A and B are shown apart, each in its own frame.
Chain A
Amino acid sequence: MNHNQLDHILKANHRDAYLWARQCCSFDDEMAKDVLQQSYLKILEGQAKLKDVSKAKTWLFSIIRYTAIDSLRIAGKVVSLSDSYDPIEIHEEVDTTDYEGIIKHLPEMQREVILMVFYHQMTIAQSAEILQIGLGTARTHYDRGKKKLKELITKVQIQEEYGK
């Protein structure tokens, strides 16, 4: 795959890539821009190679995710890949329209699978590929994430309706 083809793929997916980078960086715009730039550099320098063009988007998302994990680690924001299934309590006031605030309350892996499926219209299998986990594990994160997000949305709505 030559430089021009890669350039074309990156341009075609640029918007989605930026949004995904932002989601991987806890919605930090500046960090997302930096992560995206680093990811593009890795690709164009040949550090990451695309074998199957039909999987370009999952490949790009995977690179962005791992670059974001590295950046978060350097920034001292430790990312735990082991998931917590404990129910999450919302202590601070979250608005029903603060979608990012609500999503942030989900455990890392659940949040990523849910975002990939519902926001980026990917399949659970594609999410599993990006996260480099088994399909069964991805399904578990998906089911639990969905359940937890529904609970969170309901909780926020109740909080907003009746006050804390």
Chain B
Amino acid sequence: MENNEHLERFFEQMKNQDEQLEIPTFPSVHTRKFGFWIPAGIAASMGLAFLFLQEPTTVEITSPEVVIITLQEDENQNQHFTIEETTFLDTWESPTSSLLTEY
């Protein structure tokens, strides 16, 4: 059996002395690795930027410029008004043209 008493006593005293040492608090280590949220955030920001930077396209709202009111007669000789809204006319007949022909 080795006789290490002398050394053991030496190290015991050294340890006692080290009890006075101030041990630093466990550091909060921030790793440099990219987490999930960083790339996700970048992707979301890029998506939003893409949406906002797009030029607004002007949506043409076609307002009816012509209203065609026709009086039609069905098979029972009943008259009905039909109202159509359109932006153009294929043919146009003056509402007073009958006066010219039937005069």
Binding site for B on A (CB under 8 A): 10-11, 14-15, 18-19, 22, 33, 36-37, 40-41, 44-46, 97, 99-100, 102-103, 114, 118-119, 146, 149-150, 153
- Quote the shortest CB–CB distance from B74 to chain A (angstroms): 82
Q: Which of A10, A41, A97, A150 contacts B17 (CB 8 A)?
A: A97
Choose, from B22-30, B47-55, B63-71, B89-97, the stretch at the interface: B22-30
CA distance A52 to B31 in the complex (A): 23
When distances are taken between beta carbons in the complex, the residues of chain B under 8 Å from A103 are 14
- Quote the shortest CB–CB distance from B34 to chain A (angstroms): 11
Contact status of A18 and B24, CB under 8 A, knowing A40-B29, A41-B31, A97-B17: yes
- Quote the shortest CB–CB distance from B97 to chain A (angstroms): 90
A contact face: mostly helix, strand, loop, or mixed: helix
Q: Is the CB of B29 within 8 A of A99?
A: no
B40 interface residue per 8 A CB criterion: no
Q: Is the CB of A119 within 8 A of B15?
A: yes
Q: Is the CB of A149 within 8 A of B31?
A: no
Give the interface size class of chain B. Answer: 20 to 34
Q: Is the CB of A99 within 8 A of B24?
A: no
B58 interface residue per 8 A CB criterion: no
Binding site for A on B (CB under 8 A): 4, 6-8, 10-11, 13-15, 17-18, 21, 23-24, 26-27, 29, 31-33
When distances are taken between beta carbons in the complex, the residues of chain A under 8 Å from B14 are 99-100, 103, 119
Contact status of A45 and B6, CB under 8 A, knowing A36-B24, A99-B14, A119-B11: no
CA distance A15 to B15 in the complex (A): 12
Contact status of A44 and B31, CB under 8 A, knowing A149-B10, A150-B7: yes
- Quote the shortest CB–CB distance from A45 to chain B (angstroms): 5
Q: Is the CB of B33 within 8 A of A45?
A: yes
When distances are taken between beta carbons in the complex, the residues of chain B under 8 Å from A102 are 10
When distances are taken between beta carbons in the complex, the residues of chain A under 8 Å from B10 are 99, 102, 118, 149, 153
